[in-house]
Amino acid sequence: MKNAPTLEIVPSTMETVSEIKQAFGIANETILNPEELADLEEREMFILDQQGVLLKGIEKGIAQGREQNIAEGREEGREKGLALGMREKSLEIA
């Protein structure tokens, strides 16, 4: 917002409204020269790429956690089943 002098009269509280902030960003882009605009677009692409990497990592971590919980749950179930079976067999023998 610093590049557009006509926008300086807008109260700072208006910056909290995402639509207005986006509009200010678009207005600022219109006064950029082609090199500055290309640089801005490259930065935005980098940020979006990084966000994509983070989201993919989060999704992969969640999937691994679910797989681990399922495997641990099966193992715990087997152990409980064996213990219960051994107890029932002991009672049957007694």
Q: What is the pLDDT of residues 12-66, one digit of tens each?
A: 777 777 887 787 777 777 777 888 878 888 998 999 999 999 999 999 999 888 8
Cα separation, 92 vs 94, whole angstroms: 5
Q: What is the pLDDT of residue 8?
A: 61
pLDDT band at 5 (very low <50, low <70, confident <90, very high): very low
3 and 48 together in one domain: no
Give me 24's structure tokens: 């200010």
| For residue 78, pLDDT beyond 60 | yes
Q: Which domain holds residue 1?
A: 1-31
- Tell me the pLDDT band of 77, cut-offs 50, 70 and 90: confident
| Cα dihedral 56, 62, 65, 70 sign | negative
- Total domains present in the chain: 2
Q: Which two tokens stand for residue 74?
A: 């099966």
Confidence band, pLDDT 50/70/90 cuts, at residue 2: very low
Q: Are residues 59 and 19 in the same domain?
A: no
| Token digits of residue 1 | 């917002």
Here the tokens at position 78 are: 């087997």
